Structure 1
Amino acid sequence: MKPEGLITAMVTPLDKANQIDVNATKQLVNHLIEKKVNGLFILGTNGEFHVLSDYEKLKFAQSVITETNGRVPVYVGTGGNSTDQVIALSKEMTALGADALSVITPYFVPPTEKELITHYLTLAEANTAPILLYNIPKNTGVTISSSMIGKIAGHQNIIGIKDSSGDLENIKGYIQAAKNEAFAVLSGSDSLILDALKAGAAGAVAATSNVLTEIDVAIYRYWIEGNMEKAQSMQNSIEEFRRILKLGTIPSVLKAAINYQGITVGNPRLPVQPVSEKVLLEVAKTMDYYLENSESF
């Protein structure tokens, strides 16, 4: 499979008891697919993978994969610090029907590049679904270099990378390093969707598309159609929402916005707290702005 297009970095809906909300999950999956996203990316940073047990991850992935029913690819996060544990979870997700696995770099104790290469190649040889690397150095303290991509992009079971460094030059470096391979580079920074496409990226994994689904999808659609003016207009229009995302810890503001739109995805997991009443008013104001101006987008 080739990762491409506008892929939603989906939140994980939780109920009032702080457990996986299967019904809300189905509702969100169908909403996103109906709005024409090109894929669902679950159990990433905005999906709160770091505060979910493996049992919860498997339950959530099963509900998403079953409800999606092959309509779009499902990319499932299985990354962690232990190579053996990552392989074990990856095999279970593969058995559930994951189309691909998103594997964040190990974190907390930064591995050397040699150790990182061994980690990914060991996983790639473990008979799992195809692997999408995930680079987010601000959160992990670990950077996947372009030279490393040049060394492993040719592996038949490593299909691409999601780059959330926020650095367009980094994306360009990956594209150059893998230019002779069937390897997709995806922007994980919503502010760079269009710039990354212009540089040769295959698409983007966008958290904002949980809420601004039609706008984010339109960036990619207008890019494909060659309408740069419209694509840029769509790209610029997400900035107001990106502004309010900074008013709370990930993914509190994003979940509040989805809740406001009518799909009850609940609160974030502790230690992250729900947004304050003041921020909630700002979320409501911003969502109303997008609703009132929907014909302009």
Structure 2
Amino acid sequence: MSTFHGVIVPMVTPFKRDSAQSINFCAADQLIEKLIGSGVSGIFIFGSNGEFHLCSHEERIRFTKHVVQKVGGRLPVYVGTGACSTNEACNLSREAEALGADALSVVNPYFTQISDSEIVRYYERVAASVKIPIILYNIPKSTGMNLSAEVVSKIAPIENIKGIKDSSGNVENLAGYIEAAYGNDMDVLVGSDGKISKGYAMGATGAIAGTANLITDVVVGLFSALESGKTESAKMLQAEIEPLRDILHKGSTPAVLKRSLELAGIPVGPAREPVSDLSGFLDASIMSMLDHYGIEHI
């Protein structure tokens, strides 16, 4: 039985258009209800799309408390608690657990290039600080370091390490994780939305899919088709993610995704500075993309 399964959404953190770009809790509630209503398997806050690296410790705690209370046990809430500092990661993890998080996503330290043994020690310390499950998060384009399958095989036996999200986009890397997870109580989750079908065929149990913030029905439908063995339907739905993916790279993460949600009527606001506000810049292209999906826009 998988601990992590289905479509988990790395939810954007809504901000207001005020001088502080403060968190918009009302918009968060609107997005949460949309996601739950579309049948997602979990909500993950403070991932890359959640701009964890641009939020203060206090904001992360306050927003975690709000989301957990709003979701109210209707589905699991996962919280990103990784940090450059082991102590900070442990402190955030303990606080998120105390607030009711169902599991944690922990990215490896970034900026500083550390050794494999230091990565293992980092995860040992964070795992020991809490009792709830932990998902390792591999995103080498942002951390500057790829978690090797060899390192993952050393971390996998830790009792509450229950999953790994791979956003490398490298299928061989994903295969290495699936092999490392074999025999351990550990799930492998696809973090590259263009490879959900391929990852599922290899043995991944789910996807943490940023595109599901907007085209939730498409991504949930894709996973349902994969599980039902509806090959042609899955092929069509996998391809149907591409019009959104094609436009996301035209701005820094998650500016285009947030503007798309905003034009679709969910006022998640801009990405936080230093990422530029895209208001107006790509609107025509975004609205054309929304039209493709039949999503009403303002």
TM-score (norm 2): 0.96
In structure 2, what is the equivalent of residue 241 of structure 1? 244
Pick aligned residue for 1:55 from 53, 58, 70? 58
Match in the other structure for 1:74: 77
**TM-superposed deviation, 1:66:** 0.7
Q: Out of 97, 101, 106, which is 2:100 matched to?
A: 97
1:184 is aligned to 2:187: yes
Residues of 2 paired with 1:50 and 1:206: CA distance? 19
Post-superposition offset of 1:127: 2.6
* SS class of match (2:113): coil
1:250–1:292 distance in 2 versus 1, CA, 3 Å: closer
What is the match of residue 16 of structure 2? 15
2:141 to 124, 138, 141: 138
Give 2:269's match in structure 1, choosing from 246, 266, 270: 266
Deviation of 1:15 (Å)? 1.5
Match of 1:161 among 148, 159, 164: 164
Match of 1:35? 38
Among 54, 62, 67, which residue is 1:64 paired with? 67
Q: Shift in Å at residue 276 of structure 1?
A: 5.4
The alignment-based identity, stated in percent, is 42
2:162 is paired with a residue of what secondary structure?
Answer: strand
Structure 2 Cα separation of the partners of residues 52 and 107 of structure 1: 16
Assess if the C-alpha contact under 8 Å between 1:90 and 1:128 holds in 2. no
Residue ranges of structure 1 left out of the alignment (5+ in a row): none
| Aligned-residue RMSD, C-alpha | 1.3
Aligned mate of 1:111, from 88, 110, 114: 114
Between the aligned partners of 1:6 and 1:200, the Cα distance in structure 2 is: 15
1:117-148, CA deviations, whole angstroms, 9 ceiling, x for partnerless residues?
A: 00001111113421110000111111111111
CA distance in 1, matches of 2:85, 2:71: 30
Aligned positions, number: 293
3-state SS of paired residue (1:119): helix
* Aligned counterparts of 1:75 and 1:168: Cα–Cα separation in 2: 25
Q: Is the 8 A contact 1:186 1:203 kept in 2?
A: yes
Where has structure 1 moved over 3 Å in runs of 4 or more? none
Cα distance in structure 2, aligned partners of 1:90 and 1:255 = 27
Q: Distance in 2 between matches of 1:85 and 1:9?
A: 21
